[in-house]
């Protein structure tokens, strides 16, 4: 006999991230010489270290007065207004104000709560909208975000065109939300305004929500990304973002969700309040301080990532003489190396290659196998997981994170040497 909720109990195995990815090889726990696997940001040249800015904030801000006013909520209006202005500038939604913003404990928490508000638990009898429609390869922890209680319908997409086509082909009346990642992690493709309109049409036709994960929207060189972001249906779209990424603060765990739909905004605030009243007011007062006084830090991070992105591409293309190739990417935090010409027969073999790269060169990258669910796992957990497209062959690739490594050319040379010898 179990005191666990039945839905949660039935989800425990599928929430195990290692089982989900076929008990993949785990890299050495020691810190590698060059860690190109983490999607975090460090070693950015700015007038003051981010954590030094935190010390200054603690000493300068009137925290006692602000944090003692209704759990901090009344003392944070200025932060919410500054945040709304920031979100509006990034998305082109100039009408955003304090009514549209809800803070969460990271973007992952934001997406999870949005799904709770838009998608019903799998097997519940009162509403048929019990699936999230999502593309793979995708952010590894999307698995645990998506399937806590609902089902997941998956299709493969390696470009914006394939994503829009996948939505049109795979959506049906059981889908409660479409998950969009722009620019995409790991591949880095973006969507255009035309793609957004096609997704809008599918969502209206089947009456579902659109969840836009825009965590990397500030890390692209494409000026038209704002046009795409602003094009999503205002009544159906909820945007999610991460301040940990925006300001290069790993571990901060502060994100937000916002929408032009007042009903969903009210629901998100109510659900978050029921969970924890609100995230740490101290954290988002700090973010308000940075948005007000240190916009230059955002620009410095964007500039560093842009430089590393282009430097890695030019160095790799100059040094590489193997069958591997760089995939195009508009996400400056990541580059992916297509290993399709390297005769790698399986995800397990790809993981072994990845481990061998680290052991021989000191360079840790992320195996592409981490961005696909294991096919046997999916089949054994149907209907919780469903492939709704025929293409189920995983393309072997490595994802290279450019967030913290300053020695880009040296890393590129080590990777190219390893590939030449294999």
Q: Give CA–CA dist 141/364, Å, rounded.
A: 19
Residue 25 — very low, low, confident or very high, per pLDDT cuts 50/70/90? very low
137 upstream amide cis, omega within 30 of 0 = yes
User: What pLDDT does 60 receive?
Assistant: 84
Percentage of the chain surpassing pLDDT 90?
60
Length of the chain: 422
Determine the average pLDDT of the residues in 183-208: 97
Note the pLDDT tens digit of each residue in 61-114: 877 777 766 554 555 788 889 999 999 999 999 999 999 999 999 999 999 999
Q: Give CA–CA dist 153/171, Å, rounded.
A: 9
Domain 51-294 has CATH 3.40.640.10: yes
Q: Does residue 141 have a pLDDT over 90?
A: no
Question: Are the beta carbons of 212 and 91 closer than 8 angstroms?
Answer: no
Question: Are the beta carbons of 239 and 231 closer than 8 angstroms?
Answer: no
Note the pLDDT tens digit of each residue in 381-405: 666 777 776 555 678 999 999 999 9
Q: Give CA–CA dist 260/90, Å, rounded.
A: 15
User: What pLDDT does 189 receive?
Assistant: 95
Note the pLDDT tens digit of each residue in 68-81: 665 545 557 888 89
**Any residues with CB less than 8 A from the CB of 269 and at least 6 apart, and which?**
102
Residue 247 — very low, low, confident or very high, per pLDDT cuts 50/70/90? very high
> SS3 sequence, the chain?
CCCCCHHHHHHCCCCCHHHHCCCCCCCCCCCCCEECCCCCCCCCCCCCCHHHHHHHHHHHCCHHHHHCCHHHCHHHHHHHHHHHHHHHHHHCCCCCCHHHEEEECCHHHHHHHHHHHHCCCCCCCCCCCCEEEEEECCCCCHHHHHCCCCEEEEEECCCHHHHHHHHHHHCCCCEEEEEEECCCCCCCCCCCHHHHHHHHHHHHHHCCEEEEECCCHHHCCCCCHHHHHHHCCCCCEEEEEEHHHHCCCCCCCCEEEECCCHHHHHHHHHHHHHHHCCCCHHHHHHHHHHHHHCHHHHHHHHHHHHHHHHHHHHHHHHHCCCCCEECCCCCCCEEEEECCCCCCCCHHHHHHHHHHHHHHHCEECEEHHHHCCCHHHHHHCCCCEEECCCCCCCCCEEEEECCCCCCHHHHHHHHHHHHHCC
The per-residue pLDDT of the chain, averaged, comes to: 87
Question: Are the beta carbons of 167 and 121 closer than 8 angstroms?
Answer: no
User: What pLDDT does 13 receive?
Assistant: 62
pTM, 2 dp: 0.92
- Fold (topology level) of 6-45+297-371+384-420: 3.90.1150
Question: Are the beta carbons of 201 and 176 closer than 8 angstroms?
Answer: no
Note the pLDDT tens digit of each residue in 208-228: 999 999 999 999 976 678 899
| Domain residue limits, the chain | 6-45+297-371+384-420, 51-294
Lowest mean pLDDT among 139-143, 266-270, 338-342: 139-143
């Amino acid at each position: 006999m179990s005191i666990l909720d039945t839905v949660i109990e039935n989800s425990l195995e599928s929430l195990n991230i290692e089982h989900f990815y076929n008990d993949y090889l785990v890299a050495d726990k020691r810190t590698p010489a060059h860690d190109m696997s983490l999607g975090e940001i460090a070693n950015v040249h700015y007038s003051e270290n981010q954590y030094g800015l935190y010390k200054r904030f603690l000493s300068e801000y009137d925290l006692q007065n602000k944090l003692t006013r209704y759990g901090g909520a009344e003392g944070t209006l200025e932060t919410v207004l500054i945040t709304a202005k920031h979100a509006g500038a990034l998305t082109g939604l100039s009408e955003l104000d304090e009514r549209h913003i809800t803070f969460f404990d990271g973007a992952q928490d934001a997406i999870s709560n949005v799904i709770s508000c838009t998608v019903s638990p799998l097997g519940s009898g009162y509403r048929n909208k019990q699936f999230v429609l999502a593309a793979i390869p995708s952010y590894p922890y999307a698995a645990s975000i998506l399937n806590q209680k609902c089902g997941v319908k998956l299709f493969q997409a390696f470009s914006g065109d394939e994503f829009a086509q996948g939505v049109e082909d795979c959506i049906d009346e059981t889908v409660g939300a479409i998950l969009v990642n722009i620019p995409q992690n790991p591949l880095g493709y973006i969507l255009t305004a035309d793609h957004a309109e096609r997704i809008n049409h599918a969502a209206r036709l089947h009456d579902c929500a659109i969840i836009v994960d825009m965590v990397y929207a500030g890390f692209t060189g494409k000026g038209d990304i704002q046009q795409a972001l602003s094009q999503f249906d205002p009544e159906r779209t909820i945007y999610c973002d991460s301040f940990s990424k925006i300001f290069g603060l790993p571990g901060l765990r502060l994100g937000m969700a916002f929408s032009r739909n007042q009903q969903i905004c009210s629901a998100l605030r109510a659900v978050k309040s029921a969970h924890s009243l609100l995230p740490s007011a101290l954290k988002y007062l700090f973010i308000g301080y940075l948005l007000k006084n240190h916009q230059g830090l955002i620009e410095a991070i964007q500039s560093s990532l842009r430089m590393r992105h282009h430097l890695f591409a030019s160095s790799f293309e100059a040094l590489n003489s193997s069958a591997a190739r760089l995939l195009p990417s508009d996400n400056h935090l990541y580059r992916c190396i297509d290993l399709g010409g390297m005769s790698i027969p399986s995800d397990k073999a790809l993981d072994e290659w990845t481990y061998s790269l680290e052991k021989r060169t000191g360079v840790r990258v992320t195996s592409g196998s981490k961005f696909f669910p294991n096919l046997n796992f999916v089949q054994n957990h149907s209907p919780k997981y469903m492939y709704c497209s025929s293409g189920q062959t995983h393309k072997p690739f490595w994802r290279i994170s450019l967030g913290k490594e300053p020695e880009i050319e040296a890393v590129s040379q080590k990777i190219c040497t390893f590939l030449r010898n294999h």
